[in-house]
Amino acid sequence: MTLPTDDFLPDRRPSNIIYLSIYEGMLCQRRATETPGFARYESKSPKTKGKVSWVREFDHINGFLTGFERKEKTTLAGDKFFVAQITFNHPETTQRAILEVPIKSEFVARFAMCVENMNLKKPVWMRSFLDKTGHTSIMFKQEDAKVEQKYTKEHPNGLPKWEKDPISDEWDTREYWKFLFQIIADKALPVIANVRAALDGIRDDDQGTPPSEAAFVAEVEIETTTDDDIPF
């Protein structure tokens, strides 16, 4: 069987689910040991400079968003932390990619600031890269046009500023992240659930085509939580 030509991930993998991360600006699969098809990579970050891992890098991903979940994880030392897992579905097949990023990450912030200018009923194109300062940056596109942020430094539109503690000199970002997390809960999660339900319904019928606008009429109730000020 010949797979259709597509723009989901430029480098196709045989597995139905691809697990991705963003590492030093790269959208990639990453391994701790040498793996066939993966390239040796030395960290350039000041904190881990010289650390060797093996990566398979992708230029971008382009698909329907069908999942955006908070997951609790535990380190080897037993410390708990949270990540966001974002699921992309291939527009025409059942292939999926699950991107895992820190819960307070550039991806999550940029997505929240852009999502109100997106149509989540259509595929979302995403690329990660290092900016001129060496920090990870994220770009979203739809229909070959860059998705602009609704919330910017010049036009915050209610986005809280980071506040610096005058005594500790540390930044307090709690209100900033609470604002962004609420955008995702209110503006993204209901639509993402509808997209997932529509795609599942269509593929159950073995039609194999993306959903039409009519497939999103039914409302889907989303259960949220406010634990840790993260409502998803």
pLDDT of 216 > 70? The answer is no
Instruction: Assign 126 to helix, strand or coil.
Output: strand
- The pLDDT of residue 18 is 87
Cβ-proximal residues to 158 (8 Å cutoff; 6+ apart), any chain: 151, 179
Report which of residues 17 and 154 the model is more confident about: 154
- The pLDDT of residue 121 is 96
* Mean confidence (pLDDT) of the chain: 84
Q: What is the mean pLDDT of residues 222-228?
A: 37
Q: What is the mean pLDDT of residues 32-47?
A: 92
Could you tell me the CA-to-CA distances from 174 to 70, 136, 161, 188 in Å, in that order? 17, 21, 10, 20
Q: What is the mean pLDDT of residues 5-17?
A: 60
- The pLDDT of residue 209 is 44
- The pLDDT of residue 232 is 66
Q: What is the mean pLDDT of residues 6-16?
A: 59
Q: What is the mean pLDDT of residues 23-38?
A: 93
Report which of residues 7 and 54 the model is more confident about: 54
Could you tell me the CA-to-CA distances from 21 to 97, 131, 163 in Å, in that order? 10, 18, 29
Tokens found for residue 178: 């609470």
Q: What is the mean pLDDT of residues 205-212?
A: 44
Report which of residues 137 and 5 the model is more confident about: 137
- The pLDDT of residue 100 is 96
- The pLDDT of residue 200 is 86
pLDDT of 11 > 90? The answer is no
DSSP letters spanning 158-219: TPPPPEE-TTT--EE-HHHHHHHHHHIIIIIHHHHHHHHHHHHHHHHTT--SPPPGGGG-S-
- The pLDDT of residue 112 is 97
Query: How far, in Å, CA of 53 to CA of 41, rounded?
Result: 5
pLDDT of 13 > 70? The answer is no
| Least confident span in 169-173, 183-187, 218-222 | 218-222
pLDDT band with cut points at 50, 70 and 90 for residue 210? very low
DSSP letters spanning 59-107: S-EEEEEEEEEEEEEE-TTS-EEEEEEEEEE-SSSS-EEEEEEESSSHH
Query: How far, in Å, CA of 62 to CA of 8, rounded?
Result: 4
Tokens 């979203």 found at: 140
Q: What percent of the chain has pLDDT over 90?
A: 65
Tokens 């940056």 found at: 137
- The pLDDT of residue 167 is 87
**pLDDT by residue (tens digit) across 101-129?**
999 999 999 999 999 999 999 999 999 99
**pLDDT by residue (tens digit) across 55-93?**
999 989 999 999 999 999 998 889 999 999 999 998 878
